[in-house]
């Protein structure tokens, strides 16, 4: 998905940026380790994921069921999720609500060490702080596609 590049009206603190990065590092290590329940626990109880193909999962139980159904895809491979270029915006009306946009790359390594790169995605998350802990309330995943071709050069 082609995304316009914007500027942030307010810079977040280094502490908040580090906290969000650490949250994602822990969240993705859980999913990469196939700790399905632990991964689901990083979402609010009513959390929602909208996948690039349009499939929607609401609530932890639905997420866990969907992930369990996909477990055979991950037999004999090591999956790693790589996030970068985070843009974090604090909701001006609620400091415990963050909008986070980032790029993600997923690699899959087989037993022989061959690495397969998956398509890249742009992800939009809403994170909320509950009882001092960050959780994902909403995640929308967009598969990256080239920008439409412009008019031919003269």
- Residue spans of alpha helices (H) in 33-110: 36-40, 59-70
- Sequence length of the chain is 154
Q: What's the pLDDT tens digit per position in 112-147?
A: 999 999 999 999 999 999 999 999 999 999 999 988
pLDDT at 13 exceeding the cut of 50:
yes
pLDDT digits over 53-110, tens only?
Answer: 999 999 999 999 999 998 888 889 999 999 999 999 999 999 999 999 999 999 999 9
Q: What is the pLDDT of residue 9?
A: 62
9 DSSP 8-state letter: S
- Which residue carries 């996909």 as its tokens? 70
How many other C-beta atoms can be found within 10 angstroms of the C-beta atom of residue 81? Answer: 18
Quickly state the pLDDT bin for 43 (edges 50, 70, 90): very high
Phi/psi region, residue 23 (left: phi>0; alpha: psi -120 to 50; beta: rest), is: alpha
Q: How far is CA 7 from CA 43, 60, 88, 89, 104, in A?
A: 28, 33, 11, 11, 20
Cα dihedral 114, 72, 47, 32 sign: negative
Q: Which helix (H) or strand (E) holds 130?
A: strand 121-130
């Amino acid at each position: 998905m082609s995304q316009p590049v914007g500027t942030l009206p307010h810079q977040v603190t280094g502490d908040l940026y580090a906290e969000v990065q650490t949250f994602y590092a822990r969240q993705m290590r859980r999913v990469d380790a196939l700790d399905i329940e632990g991964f689901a626990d990083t979402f609010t109880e009513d959390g929602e994921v909208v996948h690039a193909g349009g499939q929607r999962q609401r609530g932890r139980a639905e997420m866990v069921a969907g992930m369990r159904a996909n477990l055979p895809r991950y037999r004999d491979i090591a999956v790693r999720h790589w996030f970068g270029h985070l843009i974090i915006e604090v909701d001006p009306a609620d400091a415990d609500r963050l909008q986070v946009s980032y790029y993600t790359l997923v690699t899959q390594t087989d037993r022989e060490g061959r690495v397969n790169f998956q398509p890249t995605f742009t992800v939009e998350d809403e994170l909320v702080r509950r009882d001092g802990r960050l959780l994902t309330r909403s995640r929308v995943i967009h598969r990256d596609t080239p920008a439409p071709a412009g008019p031919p050069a003269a």
